[in-house]
Amino acid sequence: MASQFSLQPYNSVSYVDVVALQLGLQRLPSEPADTFLDRLYQAANNVRDHSLQGTIDQIAFELGLSVSAGIMISSQDPTVIIQVSFGQLTILQGTTKTVIPLLTITSDNFWSWLNLSDIVAAINAQTFCTAVLSGADGPTWQLPSQTSLNIAVAESATSVQNQLAHAGVVVGSERFNGAVPSYTLTAAGELVFVTNPPANTEITYVYNISPFQLAVSQVGTFSFMDSALATYAAGPSGALVYQLSEYVQDLLTQDPCYWGE
C-alpha cells in the first residue's frame, strides 16, 4: 500500500546561524539559508557603527530591509555638489544654489512626502543636471541624508608627480602629515611638488563624486541635529508638525533624561 506525505519547509540550524552569532544577527522566520547568508555577507562588509549610515545599515540588516540605488544625478561639470538633508535636496555649482523640497506641509500641519519621480522631474526642469530614476518609485522619506563629497585619508604621495586615487578633488581641502615642498594640485587629482617630498608623505583631501548615485533606504531616518529640520518643523499655523510632535513625545517617553533639558 502506497503512503503519501508532504515535506514541510523549515529552517534548520547550520553553519550560517553560527556565523550570524559573530555578527549579532538572527535568521528571520522562514528565511532560507542562502538568503540569510547573503544578508550576513552584506552586514560584514558595510558600515554598522553609530553614524547615521551605520544606524540605517544595522536596522536594515536586522529586519531584512534594503538600501539600494535611487536616483542617478550627472552633470557635465564634475564640481557640482549634491547634498540631501532633511526635507530637501540641494545642488551647488559655484555660487549657484538650487534647493528642491522633498515634502510639503499641509494646512493641518502634516508632512506630505513627494515621490522620487517628482524629484527627478524637478532636477531635470530646474537645474543643469540630468537625473534618472535608478529603481522603483516611492516616497522621498526613503532618501537619507547624504552628500557627493567624500574624504580620502592618508593617501601616499611620495613622488614629485602624483596622480591621486580620486578625481573631483576640492582644491584647498588637502592636508599633509608633515611639511612638504611647494606644490600644485588640480581638481583632476594631479599633485606635483617642486622637489622630492619627504619619505612616507601622505595626503588627506576631500573629493566630489560625479556622477552621483543617491541611495534610498526602506528605513526612514533623520537627525534632530539636522540644521534643515527647523525649516520643516512648523506648519502654516505655527504649530509643531504632527509627525515631529509624535517623534519628540516618543523620545521623551523612552528616555526620561531629556525632561531635564
pLDDT band at 187 (very low <50, low <70, confident <90, very high): very high
User: What is the C-alpha end-to-end distance of the chain, expressed in Å?
Assistant: 77
Which DSSP letter does residue 70 get?
Answer: E
Q: Are strands 202-208 and 175-176 parallel, antiparallel or unpaired?
A: antiparallel
pLDDT band at 12 (very low <50, low <70, confident <90, very high): low
User: What's the predicted TM-score (pTM) here?
Assistant: 0.77
Q: What pLDDT score does 7 carry?
A: 42
* pLDDT tens for each residue of 40-72: 777 777 766 666 666 777 777 677 777 889 999
Q: What are the extents of the domains in the chain?
A: 15-66, 68-147+211-232, 150-207
Is the confidence at residue 140, as pLDDT, over 60?
yes
Please state, in angstroms and rounded to a whole number, the distance separating the CA atoms of residues 78 and 91.
12
Residue 126 near residue 120 (C-beta atoms within 8 A): no
Please state, in angstroms and rounded to a whole number, the distance separating the CA atoms of residues 142 and 124.
20
- Where is pLDDT greater, at 115 or 235? 115
pLDDT, mean of residues 167-189? 96
Rg (CA), the chain: 24
Q: What is the dihedral of CA 90, 93, 97, 99, to 10 degrees?
A: -20
Is the confidence at residue 226, as pLDDT, over 60?
yes
